[in-house]
């Protein structure tokens, strides 16, 4: 008995020492490595969910970012300096997000593209603010995602999407009575819904049914659709991701209910859903900053390169991440930052440069940023006709 | 008497390990030898260790399987974060955090009693599923809470934040699924270790007290315990509510470490409850020190595996299965003996190595 | 009228829960373990059928057969590697191992098939029934799922009561030690149980994905938990209980969404479960546990 106790004590002590001293050693080794090679390259980190049920979004961001940085490096890097990148999994969770951020910090990250999801982003932005590390989120839509001055956003914010959607529907007289189906357990979906509801009141639109679902029961939408149908909604507004929306469209067809459907940027990707019957999405309208079918050369090159590299059609997450990397390039060249500057120096220089650049990428033209980190972007409304986006 | 001394000694070894670990890490981190990742993990580690030992009180000592422990953590986290947001700026940080801790523990403990009264009549897998259900209900209900504050006082809604009708000075404090944002970052490693030590003292003293022996007698033979006049409901409730209150404390630590608090399935759903249960089972059911070590290793493991990128969670799952087989199977038991033998051999050098 | 249509929707959701719960309850009844990986075997069944039908272009019937074969093998292999060494371990240890297996299957699927959602092609071409001039719709999947449920319940009952292997299962579930003394090969019987349970999971997977055509590595997780709840509802270990529990759960979920609150539907489902268990602590069809003094 006594022996066992001593044994366990020794084990614990040994473990504590190896775990912490081990890390400490690695850390100091990295410090040396970092200072010698740190002057040669920029280190850009990225975070997002690579596992868990939001993995689809994090993977897209990772791929988009990777593609852009490879291109940037081939074209000579940022101001002639090559870029190194690293992407860490955060499982779309606040706590894991901070862990991922800290892992990247240990790797001597200088700028961050991330995080992919709003919830994790809100926690990470508080950390990066403390370090004054420059951060641009490709797809964190909630207001608090860019709460601090070191954080900028590539996508629309929740209020922007909800408000613009309501205005768009009212202006084009698309419908008077609207039902909303939203994910009450999701920051993104809930945020858009609330802002849509606010603006709808101002615009004289009537919300006849607002039906929620949760991430735990996101398979069966019969009740929500039945209620929308009974309330006589001419249009159903779907502020959610395309994976859930595809089930709603299929169910509505089965029920013989055919209102018009209107979605947000999360809807983009529905046409490329593997094996999806695109006739279900016929007539669906959505606001999206990016379309894989856009005719311009930039988009077509991106889509082709992405397909070649990853065997999938890119969605707007990938496009936002791709643009984010190029935004960093534009701002960094404007600010004239050097890799041997400290994280705060880079942060200060980038913050200033971000408000001065004008950027044209896949997800918008002539985008500028205010000090609040919000981009000025015009959402493009598209309608799906014959299995392709048609600009409205 | 001998027995008592032995347990006291064992308890002091446990306290010693905790204090020693705290001192070592504190020294390492003040010397700047701790990486950001480890530095950031320290407070969650404390929270998980508190969760593990508090769940062990229910699973190991009381002998009831609970799958809703994250629910109590969730209550503690939200109650205290709400309090901290409300009182930010009105009192010194230390005092506020002290009150936040009390409120978190009290709220979670209260829920422990409320849930314990109906639930503890059930047994085995049925109890497990009902605690899981309660955990999910707590999470689900918190997700529809909207509380805001403006010049005319507090506003409450269960629909959405628009329904709060706040005036221009209004501020939404609890925003449904978007949770509470901007909780002050009051948790530190030393506070966490201190709370862990207090939790340990409470639990170990409880186990070795009259009440603790009554609780264990219920676990070993409920009917016999009842027949010698032990008040089953009272002692079950006692263990359950103390465990819940400590989980609440862990929730407070967790909430005041991150600036955004969301009642997501990931942080407070049944998956988290199961994770805590894994700490308990792996560390040895009823073995408090084992829970500490298991929580420590399993929290660090996925982070240490980050280098494996895509294979990280796959390897983690394999390690989990292997650890269980290693610990509990017949063959694994023999293997464990052998490893122990070898390690003992290291202490007393032998000429021949034991294979 | 809308009440009727909600009721039908409830039955169709419930029939999917029921068919998953059947596998759960079967394994629980005989091996006495909560197989948390059951939901993920369902997901594997879905992928197997998807690959067979879409990528290999086979007919739906062959797709279902492929899925059954894959899942049966997988179930037996998992049992042999992960659960058999723990036969003497406390039930909690087995529970945790099952959770490990669940993580393993999810992450393996994530690596093999990627994170993106695939739209499943329904294996049921049958259109369904339309009543009251189209106001009430009963889909083909619902009818097939309920029919499959009934066939499985009857088949399992016959198998358990009429065959030697079934009797052996019953004996193992009553008293493992005594069964062994009577010359029953316990290991073989438990392996057979897993084979049957996993085959049921394959059928459940195909029907789940036909009813709700989206497939990703986490497809099985939540239905798995709901089906677990359904099995407890009906009295875990009871075959007809799983079916009744599943359908009841589906109806409660839909009606709660329709008449109380769509946000709180899950909370209401779980609250109902608690109430039922407090009134009848072993579920609707559960046997009363005899306490030995």
Encode pLDDT of C33-63 as tens digits. 888 899 999 999 999 999 999 989 899 999 9
**Is residue B308 less than 8 Å (CB to CB) from chain C?**
no
In a domain, C180, yes or no: yes
The burial of C173, by beta-carbon neighbours within 10 Å (0-12 exposed, 13-18 middle, 19 or more buried), is given as buried
Strand-by-strand arrangement of the B153-157 sheet? B153-157, B146-150, B171-175
Cα-Cα-Cα-Cα dihedral sign, residues A211, A216, A222, A223:
negative
Selecting from A55, A247, A255 the residue whose C-beta is nearest the C-beta of C110 gives: A55
Answer yes or no: same fold for A41-156+298-377 and A159-288.
Answer: yes
Structure token digits, residue B288: 């408090």
Q: Taking 80 as the threshold, does the pLDDT of residue B354 lie above it? A: no
Q: Taking 90 as the threshold, does the pLDDT of residue B54 lie above it? A: yes
> Which residues lie closer than 8 Å to C26 by C-beta, 6 or more apart?
C156, C193, C196, C197, C200, C239
C partners (3+ CB pairs within 8 A) are A, B
CA distance C168 to C162: 11
In a domain, C205, yes or no: yes
Return the ∠ at Cα C133 (arms to C130 and C139), rounded to 5°.
Answer: 15
**CATH 3.10.20.30 is right for the domain spanning A41-156+298-377:** no
Confidence tier at C290 by pLDDT (50, 70, 90): low
CA distance B337 to B344: 10
Range name among B327-341, C178-192, C244-258 with the lowest pLDDT average: B327-341
Structure token digits, residue B93: 């940080």
Confidence tier at A9 by pLDDT (50, 70, 90): very low
Contact A137, A317 (CB under 8 A): no
Selecting from C97, C99, C281 the residue whose C-beta is nearest the C-beta of B274 gives: C99
Q: How far is CA C32 from the centre of its chain?
A: 16
- What values do phi and psi take at B152, rounded to 5? -95, 10
E strand segments, chain B: 146-150, 153-157, 171-175, 180-181, 260-261
Pick among B36, B265, B311 to test the A interface (most A CBs inside 10 A) = B36
Percent with pLDDT over 70 in chain B? 92
Structure token digits, residue B317: 């799952």
Distance from CA of C134 to the nearest CA of B (A): 34
Strand-by-strand arrangement of the A41-48 sheet? A82-89, A41-48, A111-113, A134-137, A151-153
Domain boundaries, chain B: 42-286
The whole-number average pLDDT for the span B340-352 is: 54
Selecting from A3, A89, A94 the residue whose C-beta is nearest the C-beta of B262 gives: A94
Contact A134, A112 (CB under 8 A): yes
Q: Are the Cβ atoms of A255 and C218 closer than 8 angstroms?
A: no
Q: Taking 70 as the threshold, does the pLDDT of residue C220 lie above it? A: yes
Pick from A48, A197, A188, A175: nearest CA to A112: A48
CA distance C169 to B178: 49
Burial C179-197 (b: 16+ CB within 10 A, else e): beeeebebeebbbbbbbbb
Cis peptide before A115 (omega within 30 of 0): yes
Pick from A186, A183, A184: nearest CA to A118: A186
Encode pLDDT of C58-80 as tens digits. 999 999 999 999 999 999 999 99
Instruction: Compute the residue count for chain B.
Output: 355
Encode pLDDT of B296-319 as tens digits. 999 999 898 888 877 888 999 999
Encode pLDDT of A21-32 as tens digits. 444 434 333 333
CA distance C141 to C138: 8
Rounded alpha-carbon distances, angstroms, from residue A63 to A70, A316, A325: 11, 12, 11
Distance from CA of A389 to the nearest CA of C (A): 20
Q: Taking 70 as the threshold, does the pLDDT of residue A6 lie above it? A: no
Confidence tier at C276 by pLDDT (50, 70, 90): confident
Selecting from B178, B257, B259 the residue whose C-beta is nearest the C-beta of A187 gives: B178
Q: Taking 80 as the threshold, does the pLDDT of residue C259 lie above it? A: yes
For chain B, the farthest-separated pair of C-alpha atoms sits apart, in whole angstroms, at: 81
Predicted pLDDT at B306: 87
Selecting from C119, C217, C223 the residue whose C-beta is nearest the C-beta of A246 gives: C119
- Compare B116 and C263 and report the one with higher pLDDT: B116
Closest chain C CA to residue B130: C274
The count of other CB atoms within 10 Å of the CB of residue B42 is 21
Contacts of B312 in chain A (CB under 8 A): 51, 89
Interface of B with A in 15-54 (CB under 8 A): 17, 20-21, 24-25, 28, 33-41, 44
The whole-number average pLDDT for the span A252-261 is: 89
User: What is chain A's mean pLDDT, rounded?
Assistant: 86
3-class secondary-structure state, position B35: coil
Predicted pLDDT at B336: 67
Percent with pLDDT over 90 in chain A? 53
Return the ∠ at Cα C246 (arms to C244 and C252), rounded to 5°.
Answer: 100
Confidence tier at A53 by pLDDT (50, 70, 90): confident
Q: Taking 50 as the threshold, does the pLDDT of residue B194 lie above it? A: yes
In a domain, C114, yes or no: yes
Contact A216, C257 (CB under 8 A): no
What is the ipTM for the molecules in this complex? 0.89
CA distance C26 to C196: 8
The whole-number average pLDDT for the span C177-182 is: 90
Distance from CA of C158 to the nearest CA of A (A): 33
Q: Are the Cβ atoms of A99 and B178 closer than 8 angstroms?
A: no
Encode pLDDT of B195-238 as tens digits. 999 999 999 999 999 999 999 999 998 889 999 999 999 999 99
Contact A317, A60 (CB under 8 A): yes
Q: Taking 70 as the threshold, does the pLDDT of residue B344 lie above it? A: no
Q: Taking 80 as the threshold, does the pLDDT of residue B85 lie above it? A: yes
CA distance B322 to B310: 20
Confidence tier at B4 by pLDDT (50, 70, 90): low
Confidence tier at B333 by pLDDT (50, 70, 90): low
Helix (H) or strand (E) holding C170: helix C164-174
CA distance A38 to A42: 7
3-class secondary-structure state, position B30: helix
Domain boundaries, chain A: 41-156+298-377, 159-288
The count of other CB atoms within 10 Å of the CB of residue B284 is 16
In a domain, C63, yes or no: yes
Q: Are the Cβ atoms of B141 and C103 closer than 8 angstroms?
A: no
We find that the CATH architecture of domain A159-288 is 3-Layer(aba) Sandwich (3.40)
Q: Taking 80 as the threshold, does the pLDDT of residue B330 lie above it? A: no
Q: Are the Cβ atoms of B327 and C104 closer than 8 angstroms?
A: no
> Which residues lie closer than 8 Å to B322 by C-beta, 6 or more apart?
none
Encode pLDDT of B145-185 as tens digits. 889 888 888 888 887 777 787 877 788 898 888 889 888 99
Q: Taking 70 as the threshold, does the pLDDT of residue B342 lie above it? A: no
Predicted pLDDT at B241: 96
Rounded alpha-carbon distances, angstroms, from residue A357 to A75, A348, A369, B250: 20, 15, 8, 45
Place of tokens 């306290």: B15
Predicted pLDDT at B166: 80
Confidence tier at A103 by pLDDT (50, 70, 90): very high
Predicted pLDDT at A137: 95
Q: Taking 80 as the threshold, does the pLDDT of residue A392 lie above it? A: no
Question: Can you give A27-40 as a three-state secondary structure string?
Answer: HHHHHHHHHHHHCC
CA distance B299 to B84: 27
Give Rg (Cα) of chain C.
19
Helix (H) or strand (E) holding A135: strand A134-137
Helix (H) or strand (E) holding C2: helix C2-31
Structural domain span for residue C94: 14-220
Question: pTM for the complete prediction?
Answer: 0.89
Contacts of A59 in chain C (CB under 8 A): 114-116
Distance from CA of A379 to the nearest CA of B (A): 24
Contact A148, A361 (CB under 8 A): no
Pick from B56, B139, B88: nearest CA to B256: B88
The domain total for chain C is 1
The burial of B190, by beta-carbon neighbours within 10 Å (0-12 exposed, 13-18 middle, 19 or more buried), is given as middle
The whole-number average pLDDT for the span C173-186 is: 90
Place of tokens 């000579």: A76
Task: Please report how many Cα atoms fall inside a 13 Å half-sphere around the Cα of residue B256, on the Cβ side.
Answer: 33
Confidence tier at A34 by pLDDT (50, 70, 90): very low
Closest chain B CA to residue A101: B37
Q: Taking 60 as the threshold, does the pLDDT of residue B105 lie above it? A: yes
Encode pLDDT of A152-200 as tens digits. 999 988 888 899 899 999 998 899 899 999 988 788 888 899 889 989 9
> Which residues lie closer than 8 Å to C230 by C-beta, 6 or more apart?
C14, C17, C18, C20, C21, C242, C245, C246, C248, C249
CA distance A184 to A211: 9
Confidence tier at A18 by pLDDT (50, 70, 90): very low
Contacts of C263 in chain A (CB under 8 A): 184, 212, 214
Contacting B with CB below 8 Å, chain C residues are: 28, 34, 82, 85-86, 88-90, 92-93, 95-97, 99-101, 103-104, 107-108, 110-111, 225, 228-229, 232, 236, 261, 263-264, 266-267, 270-271, 273-274, 277-278, 281-283, 289, 291, 293
Q: Are the Cβ atoms of B134 and C293 closer than 8 angstroms?
A: no
Return the ∠ at Cα C213 (arms to C210 and C218), rounded to 5°.
Answer: 110
Predicted pLDDT at C36: 87
Pick from B157, B184, B194: nearest CA to B81: B184
Confidence tier at A391 by pLDDT (50, 70, 90): confident
In a domain, C292, yes or no: no
């Amino acid at each position: 008995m006594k022996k066992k106790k001593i044994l366990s004590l020794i084990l614990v002590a040994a473990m504590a020492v190896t775990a912490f001293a081990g890390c400490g050693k690695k850390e100091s080794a990295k410090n040396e490595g970092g200072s010698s090679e740190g002057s040669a390259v920029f280190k850009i980190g990225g975070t997002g969910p690579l596992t868990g049920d939001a993995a689809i979004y994090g993977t897209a961001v990772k791929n988009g970012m990777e593609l852009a940085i490879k291109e940037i490096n081939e074209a000579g890097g940022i101001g002639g300096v090559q870029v190194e990148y690293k992407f860490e999994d955060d499982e779309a969770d606040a706590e894991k997000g901070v862990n991922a951020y800290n892992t990247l910090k240990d790797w001597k990250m200088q700028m961050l593209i991330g995080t992919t999801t709003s919830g994790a982003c809100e926690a990470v932005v508080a950390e990066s603010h403390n370090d004054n590390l420059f951060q641009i989120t490709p797809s964190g839509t909630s207001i608090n995602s860019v709460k601090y001055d070191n954080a900028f956003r590539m996508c629309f914010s929740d209020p922007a999407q909800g408000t613009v959607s309501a205005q768009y529907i009212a202006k084009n007289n698309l419908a008077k009575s609207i039902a909303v189906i939203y994910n009450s357990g999701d920051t993104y979906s809930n945020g858009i819904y609330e802002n849509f509801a606010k603006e709808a009141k101002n615009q004289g639109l009537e919300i006849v049914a607002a039906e929620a679902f949760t991430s735990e029961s996101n398979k069966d939408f019969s009740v929500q659709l039945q209620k929308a149908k009974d309330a006589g909604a001419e249009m159903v507004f779907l502020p959610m991701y395309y994976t859930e929306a595809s089930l709603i469209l299929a169910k509505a067809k089965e029920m013989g209910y055919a209102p018009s459907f209107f979605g947000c940027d999360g809807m983009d990707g529905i046409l490329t859903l593997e094996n999806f019957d695109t006739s279900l999405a016929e007539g669906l309208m959505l606001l999206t900053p990016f379309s894989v079918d856009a005719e311009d050369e930039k988009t077509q090159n991106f889509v082709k390169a992405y397909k070649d590299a990853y065997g999938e059609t890119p969605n707007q997450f990938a496009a936002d991440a791709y643009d984010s990397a190029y935004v960093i390039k534009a701002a960094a060249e404007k600010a004239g930052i050097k890799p041997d500057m400290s994280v705060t120096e880079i942060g200060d220089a980038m913050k200033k440069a971000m408000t001065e650049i004008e950027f044209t990428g896949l997800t918008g033209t002539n985008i500028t940023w205010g000090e609040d980190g919000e981009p000025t972007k015009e959402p493009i409304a598209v309608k799906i006709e014959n299995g392709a986006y048609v600009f409205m | 008497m001998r027995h008592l001394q032995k347990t006291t000694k064992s308890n002091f070894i446990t306290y010693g390990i905790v204090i020693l670990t705290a001192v070592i890490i504190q020294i390492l981190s003040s010397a700047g030898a701790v990486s950001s990742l480890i530095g950031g993990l320290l407070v969650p580690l404390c929270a998980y260790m508190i969760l593990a030992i508090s769940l062990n009180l229910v699973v190991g000592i009381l002998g009831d399987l609970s799958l809703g422990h994250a629910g109590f953590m969730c209550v503690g986290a939200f109650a205290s974060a709400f309090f901290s947001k409300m009182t930010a700026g009105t009192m010194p940080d230390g005092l506020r955090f002290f009150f936040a801790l009390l409120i978190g523990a009290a709220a979670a403990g209260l829920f422990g009693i409320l849930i314990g009264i109906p639930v503890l009549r059930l047994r085995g897998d049925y109890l497990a599923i009902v605690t899981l259900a309660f955990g999910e209900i707590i999470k689900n209900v918190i997700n529809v809470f909207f509380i805001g504050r403006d010049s005319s006082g507090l506003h409450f809604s269960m629909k959405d934040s628009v329904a709060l009708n706040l005036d221009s000075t209004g501020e939404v404090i609890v925003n449904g699924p978007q949770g509470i944002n901007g909780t002050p970052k009051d948790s530190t490693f030393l506070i966490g270790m201190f709370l862990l030590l207090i939790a340990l003292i409470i639990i170990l003293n409880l186990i070795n007290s009259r009440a603790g022996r009554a609780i264990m007698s219920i676990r070993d033979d409920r009917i016999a315990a009842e027949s010698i006049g032990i008040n089953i409901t009272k002692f079950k409730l006692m263990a359950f509510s103390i465990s819940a209150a400590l989980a609440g404390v862990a929730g407070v630590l967790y909430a005041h470490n991150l600036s955004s608090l969301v009642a997501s399935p990931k942080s407070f759903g049944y998956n988290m409850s199961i994770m805590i249960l894994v700490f308990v089972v792996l560390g040895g059911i009823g073995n408090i020190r084992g829970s500490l070590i298991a929580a420590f290793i399993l929290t660090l493991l996925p982070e240490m595996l980050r280098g494996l990128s895509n294979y990280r969670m796959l390897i983690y799952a394999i390690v989990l299965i292997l650890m269980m087989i290693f610990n509990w199977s017949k063959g694994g038991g023999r293997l464990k003996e052998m490893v122990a033998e070898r390690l003992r051999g290291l202490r007393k050098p032998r000429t021949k190595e034991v294979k | 009228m809308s009440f009727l249509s909600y009721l039908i929707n409830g039955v169709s959701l419930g029939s999917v829960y029921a068919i998953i719960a059947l596998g759960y309850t079967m394994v629980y009844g005989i091996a006495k373990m909560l197989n948390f990986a059951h939901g993920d075997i369902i997901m594997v069944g879905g992928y197997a059928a998807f690959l067979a039908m879409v990528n290999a272009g086979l007919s739906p019937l062959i797709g279902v057969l492929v899925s059954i074969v894959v899942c049966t093998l997988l179930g037996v292999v998992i049992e042999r590697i992960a659960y058999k060494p723990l036969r003497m371990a406390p039930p909690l240890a087995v529970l945790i191992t099952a959770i490990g297996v669940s993580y393993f299957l999810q992450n393996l699927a994530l690596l093999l098939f990627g994170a993106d959602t695939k739209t499943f092609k329904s294996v049921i071409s049958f259109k369904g029934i339309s009543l009251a001039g189209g106001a009430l719709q009963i889909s083909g999947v619902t009818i097939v799922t309920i029919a499959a449920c009934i066939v499985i319940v009857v088949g399992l009952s016959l198998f358990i009561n009429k065959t030697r292997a079934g009797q052996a299962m019953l004996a193992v579930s009553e008293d493992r030690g005594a069964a062994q003394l009577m010359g029953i090969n316990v290991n073989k019987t438990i392996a057979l149980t897993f084979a049957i349970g996993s085959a049921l999971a394959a059928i459940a997977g195909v029907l789940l994905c036909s009813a709700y055509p989206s497939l990703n590595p986490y497809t099985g997780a939540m239905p798995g938990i709901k089906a677990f709840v359904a099995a407890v509802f009906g009295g875990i270990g009871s075959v007809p209980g799983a079916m009744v529990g599943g359908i009841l759960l589906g109806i409660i979920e839909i009606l709660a969404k329709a008449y109380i609150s769509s946000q709180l539907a899950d909370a209401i489902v779980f609250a109902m479960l608690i109430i039922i268990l407090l009134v009848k602590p072993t579920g609707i069809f559960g046997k009363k546990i005899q306490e030995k003094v």
